[in-house]
Amino acid sequence: MLLRLAFPIGLAWRRPIAATLVAIAASAAIETVQALLLVVGRACDTSDLVTNTIGAILGGLCARGARLVRRTREGRAGEPTAVP
């Protein structure tokens, strides 16, 4: 699964959707190469594309969640504390 690719790219780029699309495109490219180049010794499998796409989506969602948590924590750190 491409979760390990989409998650750090989503954090680094601050664009989880773009990172997800890049990971899906990378998976499609890998499967295309495997289908076209028989000398690679690997076969193209649509289930690989499906599982990689699911992993990329999960990685993008995790990156989005991590960014929201970070933004929430940074927002709370800057708020003044109430003095009773």
pLDDT tens per residue, range 42-73:
777 888 899 999 999 999 999 999 999 988 88
Within a domain: 28: yes
CB atoms within 10 A of CB 83: 4
Number of domains forming the structure of the chain = 1
Within a domain: 24: yes
pLDDT tens per residue, range 1-48:
788 889 999 889 888 999 999 999 999 998 888 888 877 677 778 888
pTM of the model: 0.77
Within a domain: 42: yes
Q: Which residues of 29-43 are buried (b: 16+ CB within 10 A; e: fewer)?
A: ebbeebeeeeeeeee
Within a domain: 55: yes
Q: Which domain holds residue 27?
A: 3-71
Could you tell me if 34 and 44 are in contact, meaning their C-beta atoms sit under 8 angstroms apart? yes
